[in-house]
Amino acid sequence: MIGKALRRKAPRTGVDWFLTVMRVAALTVVAVGLLAFIAQEIDTNNPFARWANPDATGLTRAQFQGLIVSGVAQGAMYGLIALGYSMVYGVLGFINFAHGEVFMVGAMTGMITSTKLADAGMWESNFIGSLVLIVFVSVIVCALTAVIMERVAYRPLRGSPRLIPLITSIGVSFFLQNVSLVLLGPAAKAYPDVPDWVKSKHTFLEIEGAKILVIVVAAASMVCLWYVVERTKSGKAMRAVAEDAEIAALMGINVNRTIVKVFALGGAMAGMAGILWGILFRSVVHTTGFLPGIKAFSAAVVGGIGHLGGAMTGGLSIGVAESVGPLLILEPLGVSGVSQLRDAVAFAVLIGVLLLRPNGLFGERLPSEDRT
């Protein structure tokens, strides 16, 4: 046993030293930024706050709360999209980069349906009813898109080297973007006006109705998904296929059908996120799926890809970090124009987490053949 323990301790290489330096640097930036923020919150004139940023003003309680809530709302959407990346990775072992585009299809479907409903007058008279209706349509359309994508683009490539479906997924992504461009044109399209109670802030913690709506609906969807995956027979089959498809087939599980179900579920979650995006930002273009898609992918990796709880946590972490991070850490450090650095912060979180936990927050150690 002693021999085993000794052998496990590999000699430190240059790469290890470099990683350690990077880890320390990342933690230092976060720590100093946070300290400077705390300093400027306590007293704008104290020397530490002044040293870091002469123009420091600090945040009011309400501002801080607002940032957190926006972050959670945005993060909940990233989490919903991330579930699709994570589930597909779980069963097939490749990243479906077209998943962000499925989200865009959901937002577009929501836009088209809600405009139709607004024309018919139902959007104003019965907002909740219309919302349920557009969610229903969008979830179905997205699930179908994902299933067709699997059938046409990925199934024929099953068993080929991992890089091939990955590159195919990038192709599918461009295809979906261009279909949307051709059908709906390049201009940004707006969702119809939402009722006042959605737009205005509510007495409850001064939160906008839309954000409450997004957080509640996202949480409900995640609970549904969790129930399906953890408590139903199909869910058990999905987890079995994710772990060992060959043995799952030996149990009599239809592996192809299970994979289709995984794509459908992931697509449904993306469709849900698309509607929430529309309600929150009320504008959608054919490129809408790109950045949220990449961030959701980062969220899935941050949480530990293949782990559903991880995808949700990763989504929330990235959402909150990109919302709060610039003002909490970067501004006190004296960085200028911080409000434009949201995306940089989101991906810095990805790099930071991978530096400290290479398998993500909840990820298990991958077997060596998976690390290529």
CB of 37 to another protein, least distance (A): 40
Residue closer to another protein, measured from CB, 40 or 313: 313
Contact 371, 311 (CB under 8 A): no
Q: How far is CA 300 from CA 57, 183, 233, 357, in A?
A: 35, 31, 25, 14
CB of 239 to another protein, least distance (A): 6
Q: How many CA atoms lie within 13 A of 6 on its CB side?
A: 3
Q: What is the DSSP string of 337-360?
A: SGGGGHHHHHHHHHHHHHHH-TT-
Three-state DSSP at 96 gives coil
Torsion region of 269: left, alpha or beta (phi above 0 gives left; psi -120 to 50 gives alpha): alpha
Residue closer to another protein, measured from CB, 119 or 364: 364
Residue closer to another protein, measured from CB, 182 or 251: 251
CB of 96 to another protein, least distance (A): 21
Residue closer to another protein, measured from CB, 238 or 264: 238
The residues in 228-267 that bind another protein, with binding defined as CB under 8 A, are 233, 236-237, 239-240, 243-244, 246-254
CA dihedral 120, 121, 125, 128 (to 10 degrees): 50
Regarding 227 and contact with another protein (CB under 8 A), the answer is no
Residue closer to another protein, measured from CB, 229 or 301: 229
Residue closer to another protein, measured from CB, 23 or 158: 158
How far apart are alpha carbons 263 and 151 in whole angstroms?
Answer: 10
Q: Residues 176-215: x/- map of binding to another protein (CB under 8 A)?
A: ----------------------------------------
CB of 74 to another protein, least distance (A): 30
Of 39, 2, 12, the closest CA to residue 333 belongs to 39
Residue closer to another protein, measured from CB, 103 or 362: 362
Three-state DSSP at 334 gives coil
Enter the tokens of residue 239.
């987890």
CB of 252 to another protein, least distance (A): 4
Three-state DSSP at 126 gives coil
How far apart are alpha carbons 64 and 94 in whole angstroms?
Answer: 38
How far apart are alpha carbons 303 and 68 in whole angstroms?
Answer: 19
Residues 6+ apart with CB under 8 A from 292: 77, 78, 81, 100, 103, 273, 277
Strands (DSSP E) contained in 203-359 are 283-284
Q: Which amino acid is at 190?
A: A
CB of 250 to another protein, least distance (A): 6
How far apart are alpha carbons 264 and 266 in whole angstroms?
Answer: 6
Residue closer to another protein, measured from CB, 196 or 246: 246
The residues in 309-368 that bind another protein, with binding defined as CB under 8 A, are 364
CB of 233 to another protein, least distance (A): 8
Residue closer to another protein, measured from CB, 67 or 237: 237
CB of 247 to another protein, least distance (A): 5
Contact 213, 279 (CB under 8 A): yes
Residue closer to another protein, measured from CB, 86 or 221: 86
CB of 57 to another protein, least distance (A): 49
CB of 263 to another protein, least distance (A): 21
Total number of residues binding another protein (CB under 8 A)? 17
Could you list the residues that contact another protein (CB under 8 A)? 233, 236-237, 239-240, 243-244, 246-254, 364
